[in-house]
Chain A
Amino acid sequence: MLLKLILAQGMLGLNNGVFYAMLSLGLAIIFGLLNVVNFAHGALYMAGAFVALILYSYVGAWIGLEQLHINFWVALVLAPVIVGCFGMLIERLLLRHLYKFDPIYSLLLTFGVTLVLQGLFINTFGASGTPYPGQPEQLRGVVNLGFMMFPKYRLFAIVFSVLVCLAVWFVIERTRIGAMLRAGTENPELVKAFGINVPLMVTLTFGFGTGLAGLAGVLAAPIYSVSPLMGADLIIIIFAVVVIGGMGSIMGAVVAGFGLGLIEGITKVFYAPAANTVIFFLMVVVLLVRPAGLFGRQS
């Protein structure tokens, strides 16, 4: 019985890990390559979920086709693109002006963006959240895992996000793009002088990182209800995940994301009230013994 419960809570933990991993991955890309701590990452995740909701429930009505519900699969493609474009807009219009200052200003700026986004969505959709009705038919129902009934959709979310994380890791760590991006963070002027279009690269990277947040949002929509505050507390957890994984480390973000989800889930079996804090305690421990994080480059 206990083993069953541990496995079951572990699965749920892994399920949360999907979002930890995908969000911290985007955050790590943006931080590692642009040196910006994007506080708005949680809000963009929320925006991704809302894009899915809007596509399904509102767009049809807007264009006079009440029966039109743009489905989940389309949202899975469109939402990251839309959120990513929005991210690029933020980068172009706002962040860009802060690169020459202490990175803390970028953190503060994105904090402001978070407040604005949250406020706008609360005003438009209310604070309480709306369920996403567009869960795809193919993924309804449960799978019997032996130790539990697990919704098909959640299983899909886990597999899908693992694949996405691996693909992203490959591109960044195994291609020259990664090195170019890192260099661009450090000394954009010189990299430009070498003949690389740094501003474009930075914008695209930011768009990519935020697009990942949007993607995570779409994945989340059918699981949680879509709410303006869904990213608010999550972002703090994500920060801890990133610190534990090692800031800027792609592998660290992914492994720590899934791993911490798992640990959090299992904690619930033994002492549920500690589940909220276990990640932060682990963070303290990691800081004490390995200040650069599990996968970070030790300085």
Chain B
Amino acid sequence: DGISDDVVKIGVLGDMSGVYSTGFSGDGAVAAVKMAVEDFGGEVLGKKIEVISADHQNKADVASATARQWIDEDHVDMITDLTNSAVALAVQQLASDKGVITMSTGAASADLTGKACTKYGIHYGYDTHALPVGTATAVVKNGGDSWYFITADYAFGHALQDNTSAVVKELGGSVVGSSDVPLASTDFSSYLLQAQSSGAKVIGLANAGQDTVNAIKQAHEFGIVEGGQQLAGMLVLISDVKSLGTDVAKGLNFTVGWYWDLDDESRAWKEKYMKYSNGAAPTFVHAADYSLTLAYLNAIKAAGTDDSDAVRAELSKQKIDDFFAKGGMIRKDGLLEHDMYLVQVQEGAEDPWNVAKVVRTIPGNEAYASLKDGGCAMAQE
């Protein structure tokens, strides 16, 4: 009992320099975690809380080697961020084998708490199941019933494409094709042409970050949107909208796990965060990073130990009720079920970061797969 090694170590393993380093991971995520630790008082059960971070370069092997050493040598108690599903899947498995809790935020694949779920793996913030529920539904209902996907060619992209396809088909739409694009491509033109000639009404972007931004830009460059096809970004952050410009992104619908302009509590948190991050507004992933850090520390406090089993159990006992999630709960399969928001790009707001307005709140139980449908074997008994 008590705190192992007299210190609680939180490891932020993220993409510190690559395509996901803005918006999802990087300094912004580290700032959120550190801010939470500070707000918590820097200590838990009288022991120091330490935050360390490392760059996984979007490489699962780099990530798992780092995680392995963190666990074996540095006795890290919890690993978070794990932006990039391939990374998260690898590290979650490894950490669980070694009895260490992971709390993935940036990573999206619903498999993390689905068929790849583990005893100590938690997925916090959003997933590929939750994203299309809002966005794809809205698009299909507006008449966009045939889709062509441009998909990031790894765990995340494929999961997102699958989950979106399921939504589209359920609503009677069809999927006419897809192109797999390597992560961090800069030229989407040939895929876009392929999509264009498929005749689909909607080009679904099953990618994220810089990839999404580039794809949308080039679609405009080649006159694809003018040609009558609609783009649907399945994972868009406000930072992406900002770099696209609201004129280019105009009309875009997308789904987020939180938006800073939801209520006063959120607005206040955003102001505070911006001081930590050199003036960049938080994305919903950063908010999740903060929220989960507090949740984890509270669980240690409540359990009176940093023992993984005790903390994991405690995490599922609490309700997550803060600026980020209202009445959210961490399920047996490790998924944080909470409300999601469909937002739409808006132009000309006063605050340069006010790039979207919320058009619909998607209740947690609608957004996420049920425990039963999620496919986590461990959670079925």
Partner-B contacts on A (CB < 8 A): 1, 4-5, 8-9, 12, 15-16, 122, 126-129, 131, 142, 148-151, 223-225, 227, 229-230, 265, 268-269, 272-273
Contact = CB atoms under 8 A, between A and B. Distances in A.
Nearest to B197: A5
Nearest to B57: A127
A257 to B, nearest CB: 17
B193 A272 contact: no
Contact of A5 (B20, B21, B194, B224): B194
A129 B222 CA distance: 21
Contacts of B209: 128
A58 B19 CA distance: 22
B222 A268 contact: no
A268 B194 contact: yes
Nearest to B227: A149
Interface residues of B, number: 28
Interface stretch (B42-50, B112-120, B183-191, B369-377): B183-191
Given A129-B210, A142-B223, A151-B221, A272 B179 contact: yes
Per DSSP, chain A at the interface is mixed
A8 B189 CA distance: 10
B214 interface: yes
Contact of B19 (A128, A224, A273): A128
Chain A CB within 10 Å, residue with most, of B17, B21, B57: B17
27 contacts: A1-B197, A5-B194, A8-B193, A12-B190, A12-B193, A16-B187, A127-B17, A127-B19, A128-B18, A128-B19, A128-B20, A128-B22, A142-B222, A148-B193, A148-B222, A149-B227, A223-B187, A224-B186, A225-B186, A225-B214, A229-B184, A265-B190, A268-B190, A268-B194, A272-B179, A272-B194, A273-B180
Contacts of A5: 193-194, 197
Contacts of B184: 128-129, 229
A213 B222 CA distance: 26
B242 interface: no
A227 B21 contact: no
B217 interface: yes
B21 A127 contact: yes
A118 to B, nearest CB: 12
Nearest to A276: B182
B77 to A, nearest CB: 29
A225 B193 contact: no
Contact of B187 (A9, A127, A148, A224): A224
Given A15-B189, A272-B194, 7 more contacts: A4-B197, A127-B21, A128-B19, A129-B184, A129-B186, A142-B222, A151-B221
Contacts, number: 69
Interface of B: 17-22, 57, 179-180, 184, 186-187, 189-190, 193-194, 197, 209-210, 214, 217, 221-224, 226-227, 243
Contacts of B217: 131
A1 B243 CA distance: 35
Contacts of A224: 186-187
A253 B210 CA distance: 33
Contacts of B189: 12, 15
Contacts of A223: 187
A199 to B, nearest CB: 39
Contacts of A227: 186
A151 B227 CA distance: 14
A1 to B, nearest CB: 6
A128 B17 contact: yes
A9 B195 CA distance: 12
B300 to A, nearest CB: 34
B161 to A, nearest CB: 15
In the A-B complex, the 4 residue pairs with the smallest Cβ-Cβ separation, listed nearest first, are A149-B223, A224-B186, A127-B17, A5-B197
Contacts of B197: 1, 4-5, 8
B135 to A, nearest CB: 24
Contact of B17 (A126, A148, A269, A273): A126
B134 to A, nearest CB: 27
Contacts of B17: 122, 126-128
Contacts of B226: 149
A185 B21 CA distance: 46
A133 to B, nearest CB: 11
Contacts of B19: 127-129
B308 to A, nearest CB: 33
Contacts of A272: 179-180, 194
A230 B186 contact: yes
A5 B217 CA distance: 21
A9 B190 contact: yes
Contacts of B20: 128
A16 B188 CA distance: 12
B209 to A, nearest CB: 8
